[in-house]
Structure 1
Amino acid sequence: MCRKSRPEADNICLDCFDRANVKNQNLWMKKVNLNEKVEETVDCLECGETSHKVCVFHFKETPFVCGNCSGEPGLFKKTIETDPNCEIDVFLDEKANKQLIMGEEKIAVASFTTAKSTTTKELMPDLYLKDAKKKYGSKIDYVARAIYFFQIVDNISIAFFGLFTQEYQDLGGKSWCVIDYLDSVPWMRVSSKSPSKIYLELILAYFEYMGLKGFKNGHLWANPPVKGVNYIFNIHPETQRYLDKVQLIGWYHKILQQGERTRVLAGYRNFEEEFKKGEFKHPIDLPVFVDSLWCKILKWVNDELKTDEFDDEHFKEKLEDEYMERAEDNFYFELCGSELPNPIPLEPEELNPHKILGDRETFLDKCFAENWEFSSLRRAKYSSVGIIKLIEAAREKRDANGSMQD
C-alpha cells in the first residue's frame, strides 16, 4: 500500500487493511471491488518504494525519485494566489475572504475570459429567424468567463467552487450576464457558516461586479444537477448531496432575496411574474443565450411541429405548455451597479483566454485524460495542483509576452 495514502485512504485491500493501522476499524465495511481500474503507481528510481502518482504529485512521464531520496519533496507550487493584475479576481477575492473568520484559510480566485460569437440561426427557430435577425443581427457576440475558487487545505490550494458565465454587452439592445454552469465539491474548510452560504455570496459578488461594470440585467435558470454528471469538476464524492429542482429554486430565491437586501440587485422576478408584466408577448421576446433554457425550448418546439403545423399559431400553442412548465424555474433581475449616479461605462475588457481552463468541455476532457478527479480529498489535492500548474504556466507566459494565451 502507498505509504502516503494511508491517512486518507477510502478503499484498502484486505491484505493491507491489518497492516495499515487503520483508526476506527468498526466504521469500515467489507465490500467486493467491482471497479476494474487500477490507480497508477510509480517506483522510486533509487529506493524502489512504490507510491501512487496522486500521492506524490507526479505529473510527468519521467523517472520518479521520491522526496526522501532527492531531498526535494516539492519542486513546484502547490498553492495559488489571486492575480493582483486581474480586477475581477481581486474583487471576488476580497468578497470571498470577508466571509471567513480568523483562523480559516484564505480563498484565492483565478478567472479566464474568451471572446465568442454564434449565429442567430443557432439560437432561434426557423419560423422567427427573419425577425430575430432584425433584433439581434446575423451574429451575436459574447464573452465566456470561467472562474475558479481555491482554498488552502493541508498546505495545498484546492479548487472547491467554479462558475462559467456568459456576458452579452448588447443582446437586442440590452446587456446581460448569465451564469451558465456552477459546480462545487465539498473540500472547503469553514466553521463559521455552511458552504452553501459561502457559495451564495460568491454568486452575488459576481453579479455585483458585473453591475459595477455597467451590465444591467441578469438571468438564472434553476436546472438541477444530475448525480454522476460532471459539470465543471470531474467525479464528485459518492456521498455528495445534490439539490432537486424544488430545493434549487428555493436556494436561488435565497440568493436573489439576499441580493435585494444588500442592494446588489434592484429587483427580481421568476418567469411567471415576468410574463404577467407583458415582457414576453411573442416568442421573439424570450431572451436567448447560448445553450440556455429558452434557446433549447424554442428549437425543440420548432423540431416538434409537423409540416402542416409549421405556423405562428401552432408554435405559440405548443410554447404555452412550456410557459406553464417553466413558470418558476428561471429568474430575471436588474443589477444595482448600473443605477449608480455615475455608472462605469460598459466597455470591452482586456481578455485573458485559456484554451483549457477557459472552456468547460475542454477542461473536463483534460481532467478525464489526466485522471484528475475530486472524488476524495487526496485526489482533489492532486487535481488542483494540476490546475495550478496550468494557471502558473499561463501567468509566466503572460508576463513574458504580455498575453494570457495558452
Structure 2
Amino acid sequence: MIIQIVVRLCLVLSVVAAGGLPAHAQSDANFQKFLQSLWPDAQAMGVSRRTFDEATRGLKFNQSLPDLVIPGKPKEAPRGQAEFERTPAQYLSESSLARLTAQGQKLATEHKATLAAIQKRFGVPPPVVLAIWGRETNYGNVKLPYNTIEVLAAQAYMGRRKEMFRRELLLAMKILEEQHVAFKDMKASWAGAMGHTQFLPTDFLKYAVDQDGDGHRDIWTSVPDSLGSAASQLLAKGWDRGKRWGFEVRLPANVDCSIAEPDTKMTVAEWIKRGYAPLTHKPTREELGEEASLFLPAGLKGPAFLTLKNFYVFKGYNFADLYALFVGHLSDRIAGGKNFATPWGKIEQARSDYIETIQRHLTKAGFYSDKIDGKAGMKTRSALGAWQKAAGLPLDCWPSRALAEQMQAAR
C-alpha cells in the first residue's frame, strides 16, 4: 500500500514538475483566462465588476454546442438554417401555416389592446407582428434551452465567428447591468438569439422597447415588450406604413425566370401589363404605381410573387428569402387570407456543397458575382437561369444536385 501511494505521489509530482495539468483542467483554466481577459472591455462598456463576476462565476465551456472549432475534435459541418436546408414546400408546409394561423388569430383577440397600441406607435399591423412571433418561437412555446452568457461565451471562445460573438457577449453583460433580465432568466438559442422574438444582444440594445411600461425591456417573459420590440425593429429597418409586402401572381407563358431578382424592378402596373396577373390580391391604385420585383422561391416549379418594399424589410429581420415569404404569407393568413393559389412542384433541396459547385461554375462562366455560400438565394437562381438560357438548356432556375454533378463532370 505504501509503495502504491509513493508511486501515485511521484506521478503527480512529475506532472507538476513538467508544468502540466490534465487536459480537461487545462481547458477549463484556459477558458477562465479567456473570460477574465474580457473585463477591460466590459468595464469600458459600463459593466460593473459585480455584474461581470456574477455572469462569469462558475461558467463552464459548453463543448456540445454547434459551430465550435475545438482542437483535436473532428470538424463538423456548420449548422445550417432551415430556410436553406428545406425545399420551399417543406419550409412553408400547409399544416404548419394552418396551425400558426389559427393560433395567431386567437392571440390577435387576446392581445388586441396591446397590438393596437403597437400599431399606433410603430405603424406595423397586428398580423405582421404576430407572424414574426409565430415564426421565431411558435408564439413563445419554444423553450429556449441555453443561458445567453453560456452560449455566447462558448462561441466567442472557440466559435467560427469569434469576434462577432465576443462583442455580443459583452453586450449581453451590458443588458444584465441594465437589469432588464436576471441572469437565470436570460434564455437563448444555441447561437445566442434571445427571447420570444430572437434578438441578439446587438439587436436588443438597438430595438427592444418597454411596451408594458414597467421600466424594463423584457423579451423573455413580457409579451407586450416582445411584440413591441419586433415592431420597433421592423420600423427601424424601413417598414413602409400602410403598405403590403407583396402578393402572388400567375406567370405569363413566356416567363424568363432569370429576371426574378431584387435589382430587376418595374411598377406593379407594368408587371401586370406584361402578363403577371394578381391571384390573391387586387392591387390598389396606389400599389399599381409602386416598384416591385419578381420572386420565384422554387424557380418555375411553384408559386410566384411580386414583392414590394416591406418584403425586404422582413429580410432585414432575417435575410433568408423563405423567412420573408413565410412571415408575409402568415400575416396575410392571420388577417383572413387564403393559402397559395399555385401548388408547389416536386423538387429536391440540394446540399450546400452542390450549391457551391453551381455557384463556382456560374462565377467562372461570368454569370454570378455574389458570395460562394452554398445557399440557393435569389441571385443564385437568377444567375442559373441566365446560364441555362445561354447554354440552350431547359429554363427552370432551380439549382439541383443533378445539375451540380453535370457541371462537376464537365469541369
Structure richer in strand, relative to its length: 1
Higher helix share: 2
Instruction: Mark the structure with the bigger radius of gyration.
Output: 2
TM-score of the alignment, normalized to the shorter chain, above 0.5: no
Q: Which bracket does the TM-score occupy, shorter chain normalised?
A: under 0.3
Q: Which has the higher contact order (CA 8 A, sep 6+)?
A: 1
TM-score, structure 2 length as denominator?
0.22
Q: TM-score, normalised by structure 1?
A: 0.23
